[in-house]
Structures are given as structure tokens and as C-alpha cells.
């Protein structure tokens, strides 16, 4: 089959070259965007009198019928036509005749493909914003139920201070809130229109880029044609935001894996979100959070891959840029799949309150509070820290927790201790006492949830 660009050539393309350079196997995902871009372009060509209006109308009709075919998966894409742009143009010419060849007036695949990618990311980013928000909603629903459920809080994965379980979960709400803000902010830059830049230097035709921008809903037009066809920083930005989102998902997943282990037993994931073992009948494995954690790696790979593709490219378009697509599609799909599973997994998990309670009553995570107690009696914090360190060591040797020590034992360590020491020691009191803004006391957590509710769109 002769190529749309075949005029200058005397030989058929080597079949291996054809296969190696083609992008149609993956860029067919851009069919809808490619057609939208073409519809706007041809409308503008007609309105500006660059091609006759009746030709523009014929082309539009042809494009709309191809759009229908694409929506019903009825197009047979050909590797000989290399990419989505030439597949659609070929189909158009087959359908409406040589007039279809007027579509590519004043345009290049270079500004065309960049436009397709902007359109695609705009749609996907908008959808992802809602998926992130669904996860936030799931976190919020669980948190509201568990303001007064307490678990050990950890640093270095060692028990540190008890916290409200809602406080722990809500930490992720805010991470996802910033992710959502980043996605929303990135739309500003996704909304720059490349079309009208031609191959690299603009076009000799009197085009109207404002018109195209208006038809396609772009806010800004790339003011430099070479920049427009060469850069993919808007995709880098997306891949980087996607990687950050997956980092947050991965950390939360790690907590679910730990908490659902026999060693913690703080939560149980719903049966419908777990899988079994082919050999060990007793197993219920947290495959979903494990895979969420595991899939994070590929999104980092996609970011690094594109950074590397771009770093040495001279202006303007280079075929290397075709490598921008698969990683982007993969990150979009990974995010969609992950966020869609995460929300219901959070909603359906069972919180094992009794085990959490047992945990906070059997540790030394109230030690800071006794130090603070001595500080309130006038001792410098550093001295109080030393005394309580010794007290904890003593309690460990006596195989007792701090709440189990007799008053006389406290007094051996400092005469500042009074009977009211037992009031500050209960884990519930330890949590309630952290009543500073952003702290874990139930009062603060309730305020925090109120603030969070205002963030949901």
C-alpha cells in the first residue's frame, strides 16, 4: 500500500522498519481526541476561507462517521498507516474521496499529536480528580466512625504515643487533598493549545488559532511553535503527580498489610478484597494492597523513562517523542485501577476495636505524658525525660506497665509525683490531652473532619 507521504520514496518500507516505527498499536487510544482536533481544525479552515466551506462540511461529515465507527470499535487499524493520525486520514479519504486530503492543510502530525495528548490528559485528569475524591470520601466515612477508637501511634515502627484511629486515617485524607490540588493545578498547563504550530515553524496559511482554542476549550495558545511541538513537560508533570499519588496509595497499602497481619490484627479486609492460597487452606492474603504497593514502581518507571527520553533532544520534533505515550497510558490505567479499588476496600474493612484497645493498654506509650506531668510541676523537660527513662527501665525489670506501678514506686523517682499521676496515665487521657491544633485529641479530630468536609467538591 502506498504511504500518505510516499511521493519522495522509490522503495517500499522495510517490513521490520514499518513495525518498529508504528505507534498505531497503542496510539489508537487517541482516536476520539484526534477526531475532535480535526473537527475543530477543519471548521477553522472553512471559516477562514482556507478551504471552501462545502469541502469543510464534507470532511466534518466524514469525520463524524469515523467517530461513530471508532466508538463502536469497528475500525480496523493498519500498521502500514503507522499511527492514529494517518489511519484516520486514510479512512477519511476512502470514505469521502480526494477532498479528504484537504484536512491536513496548514497542519502537521507534530502539532496534531501534541494536541491529542493535551486533550487526552485533560479528560483523564478530570476523571482522576473525582476518583481521588472518592478515596477521600471513603477515608472520611471510616474516620467519622472512629474518632474515639484509639491505636498505638508509631515512630520507627516502635510504639510512640497512642492516637485516634480517625487521626491516623485522616493523615491520608490530606495527602490525597494535596494530590487533588496538584491535579487541578496541572490542568492550567494541560489547557495550552499546540495546534496551529505546524511541523515546527508555524504555517503559511492565514489560520485562526483563537478559533481552534475556543472550539476545543483551551485557555491558552502556545506562543512559540517550536516549544509547542517539542516539549512534553505537561506529561512529565502528570507522571510526577501520578507517582506521588501512588506513593501515598502504597504507604496506606503497607499499613493495611501490616494491620491485617496476625501480628497486629487491627483490621480485617473484606473477603471480597482478598484471595486465598493454592496450597495453604487457612490463608487469606491481602493481595489488593500488596499489588497497589507493587504497581507503584511502574509509575516511577514511566516518569523516569520520559525524563530520560527528553533530556537530550534538540528542538524541535524528534521521533523519540513517540515514546511519550505508552508510559502515560500505563500510569493513567494504573491510577484508575488503584483508586477504584482503594475506595471500596477502605469502606468495607472491619476495624477490630478490641484488639486496638488491648494494644494501647499494654505498652509504654504514656511515658511522654508522665514527663510532661513533671514539667507542669516545674521540672525542666530534659531532667524529666531522664527520670522517666529510668522509671520505664525499672518498670520493664519489674514486668509492669506504668499504670500498674504503686504510688510509692513513683515517689522513689521524684517527690514531685502526687496521687493525680494516675489520671494522666490512662491511654484515653493521653490521647485527649493532645489538644493542640492538628493534634489527635477527639475534639481536634472532630474539628479536622469539619475542615476536611469543606474540601470535598
* Nearest distance, CB of residue 150 and ligand ARG, angstroms: 54
Q: Which is nearer to ligand ARG, 23 or 296 (CB)?
A: 23
Give the C-alpha separation, 128 to 242, whole Å.
10
- How many CB atoms within 10 Å of residue 282? 6
How many CA atoms lie within 13 Å of 371's alpha carbon, on the beta-carbon side?
A: 19
* Nearest distance, CB of residue 63 and ligand ARG, angstroms: 18
Q: Which of 43, 110, 260, 365 binds ligand ARG (CB under 6 A)?
A: 110
Q: Which is nearer to ligand ARG, 165 or 317 (CB)?
A: 317
- Identify the helix (H) or strand (E) that includes residue 158: strand 158-164
Q: Which of residues 308-367 bind ligand ARG (CB under 6 A)?
A: 317, 319, 321-322
Give the C-alpha separation, 421 to 410, whole Å.
9
* Nearest distance, CB of residue 229 and ligand ARG, angstroms: 9
Q: Is 229 a residue that touches ligand ARG (CB under 6 A)? A: no
In eight-state DSSP terms, residue 285 is B
> For ligand ARG, which stretch binds (CB under 6 A), given 108-116, 183-191, 272-280, 300-308?
108-116
Give the C-alpha separation, 34 to 31, whole Å.
5
- Hey, what's the cell of 85? 493520525
* Nearest distance, CB of residue 95 and ligand ARG, angstroms: 22
By the 8 A CB rule, do 339 and 288 touch? no
Whole-angstrom CA distances from 13 to 23, 84, 132 are 15, 18, 46
Q: Is 113 a residue that touches ligand ARG (CB under 6 A)? A: yes
Give the dihedral sign, CA 320/326/329/332. Answer: negative
Q: Which of 23, 164, 225, 448 binds ligand ARG (CB under 6 A)?
A: 23
* Nearest distance, CB of residue 109 and ligand ARG, angstroms: 4
* Nearest distance, CB of residue 83 and ligand ARG, angstroms: 4
Catalytic residue among 25, 261, 277, 362: 277
Site size for ligand ARG, by CB under 6 A?
A: 10
Task: Select from 237, 192, 234 the least CA-distant residue to 216.
Answer: 192
* Nearest distance, CB of residue 323 and ligand ARG, angstroms: 8
Q: Which is nearer to ligand ARG, 110 or 203 (CB)?
A: 110
In eight-state DSSP terms, residue 221 is E
How many CA atoms lie within 13 Å of 363's alpha carbon, on the beta-carbon side?
A: 19
Cα Dmax for the chain: 101
Q: Which is nearer to ligand ARG, 200 or 274 (CB)?
A: 200
Give the C-alpha separation, 198 to 387, whole Å.
75
Give the C-alpha separation, 91 to 104, whole Å.
13
Pairing of the two strands 158-164 and 192-193: unpaired
Q: Which of 29, 58, 109, 180 binds ligand ARG (CB under 6 A)?
A: 109
Q: Which is nearer to ligand ARG, 328 or 339 (CB)?
A: 328
Q: Which is nearer to ligand ARG, 113 or 129 (CB)?
A: 113
Q: Which is nearer to ligand ARG, 116 or 133 (CB)?
A: 116
In eight-state DSSP terms, residue 275 is B
> For ligand ARG, which stretch binds (CB under 6 A), given 73-81, 106-114, 176-184, 285-293?
106-114
Give the C-alpha separation, 440 to 193, whole Å.
47
Give the C-alpha separation, 26 to 372, whole Å.
62
Measured in whole angstroms, the distance separating CA 378 from the mean position of its chain's CA atoms is 49
Is 278 one of the annotated active-site residues of the chain? no
Q: Is 115 a residue that touches ligand ARG (CB under 6 A)? A: no
Q: Which is nearer to ligand ARG, 316 or 405 (CB)?
A: 316
- Hey, what's the cell of 261? 497481619
Q: Which is nearer to ligand ARG, 21 or 426 (CB)?
A: 21
Task: Select from 77, 75, 76, 83 the least CA-distant residue to 18.
Answer: 83
Q: Is 83 a residue that touches ligand ARG (CB under 6 A)? A: yes
* Nearest distance, CB of residue 27 and ligand ARG, angstroms: 6
* Nearest distance, CB of residue 211 and ligand ARG, angstroms: 23
Is 164 one of the annotated active-site residues of the chain? no
Task: Select from 223, 13, 5 the least CA-distant residue to 108.
Answer: 5
Contacts of residues 436-441 at CB distance under 8 Å and 24 or more positions apart, as own/partner, are: 440/153, 440/161, 440/163, 440/164, 440/167, 441/164
Site string for ligand ARG, 264-293 (x = CB under 6 A): ------------------------------
Catalytic residue among 156, 278, 415, 436: 156
Active site residues: 156, 277
Give contact residues for ligand ARG (rule: CB under 6 A): 23, 27, 83, 109-110, 113, 317, 319, 321-322
Amino acid at each position: 500500500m502506498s504511504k500518505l507521504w510516499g511521493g519522495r520514496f522509490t522503495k517500499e518500507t522495510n517490513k521490520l522498519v514499518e513495525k518498529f516505527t508504528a505507534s498505531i498499536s497503542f496510539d489508537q487510544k487517541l482516536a476520539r481526541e484526534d477526531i475532535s482536533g480535526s473537527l475543530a481544525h477543519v471548521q477553522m479552515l472553512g471559516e477562514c476561507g482556507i478551504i471552501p466551506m462545502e469541502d469543510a462540511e464534507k470532511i466534518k461529515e466524514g469525520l463524524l462517521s469515523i467517530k461513530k465507527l471508532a466508538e463502536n470499535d469497528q475500525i480496523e487499524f493498519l500498521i502500514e498507516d503507522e499511527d492514529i493520525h494517518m489511519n484516520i486520514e486514510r479512512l477519511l479519504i476512502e470514505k469521502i474521496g480526494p477532498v479528504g486530503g484537504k484536512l491536513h492543510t496548514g497542519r502537521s502530525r507534530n502539532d496534531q499529536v501534541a494536541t491529542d495528548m493535551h486533550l487526552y490528559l485533560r479528560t483523564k485528569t478530570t476523571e482522576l480528580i473525582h476518583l481521588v475524591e472518592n478515596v477521600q470520601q471513603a477515608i472520611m466515612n471510616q474516620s467519622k466512625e472512629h474518632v474515639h477508637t484509639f491505636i498505638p501511634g508509631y515512630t520507627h515502627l516502635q510504639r510512640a504515643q497512642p492516637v485516634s484511629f480517625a487521626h491516623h486515617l485522616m493523615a491520608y485524607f490530606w495527602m490525597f487533598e494535596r494530590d487533588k490540588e496538584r491535579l487541578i493545578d496541572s490542568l492550567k498547563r494541560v489547557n495550552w493549545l499546540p495546534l496551529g504550530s505546524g511541523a515546527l515553524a508555524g504555517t503559511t496559511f492565514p489560520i485562526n488559532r483563537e478559533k481552534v482554542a475556543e472550539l476545543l476549550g483551551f485557555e491558552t495558545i502556545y506562543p512559540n511553535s517550536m516549544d509547542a511541538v517539542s516539549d512534553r513537560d505537561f506529561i512529565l508533570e502528570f507522571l510526577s503527580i501520578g507517582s506521588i499519588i501512588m506513593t501515598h496509595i502504597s504507604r496506606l497499602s503497607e499499613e493495611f498489610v501490616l494491620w491485617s497481619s496476625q501480628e497486629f490484627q487491627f483490621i480485617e479486609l473484606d473477603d471480597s478484597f482478598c484471595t486465598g492460597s493454592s496450597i495453604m487452606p487457612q490463608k487469606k492474603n491481602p493481595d489488593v494492597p500488596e499489588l497497589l504497593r507493587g504497581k507503584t514502581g511502574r509509575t516511577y518507571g514511566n516518569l523516569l523513562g520520559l525524563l530520560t527520553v527528553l533530556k537530550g533532544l534538540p528542538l524541535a520534533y524528534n521521533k523519540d517523542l513517540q515514546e511519550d505515550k505508552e508510559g502515560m497510558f500505563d500510569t493513567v490505567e494504573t491510577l484508575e485501577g488503584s483508586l477504584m479499588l482503594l475506595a471500596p476496600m477502605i469502606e468495607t474493612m472491619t476495624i477490630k476495636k478490641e484488639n486496638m484497645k488491648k494494644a494501647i493498654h499494654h505498652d509504654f506509650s504514656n511515658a511522654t505524658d508522665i514527663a510532661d506531668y513533671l514539667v507542669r510541676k516545674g521540672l525542666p523537660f530534659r531532667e524529666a525525660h531522664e527520670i522517666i527513662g529510668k522509671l520505664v527501665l525499672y518498670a520493664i525489670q519489674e514486668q509492669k506497665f506504668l499504670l500498674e506501678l504503686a504510688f510509692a514506686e513513683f515517689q522513689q523517682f521524684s517527690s514531685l509525683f502526687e496521687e493525680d499521676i494516675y489520671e494522666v496515665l490512662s491511654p484515653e487521657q493521653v490521647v485527649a490531652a493532645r489538644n493542640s491544633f492538628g493534634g489527635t485529641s477527639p475534639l481536634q479530630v472532630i474539628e479536622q473532619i469539619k475542615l476536611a468536609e469543606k474540601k470535598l467538591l
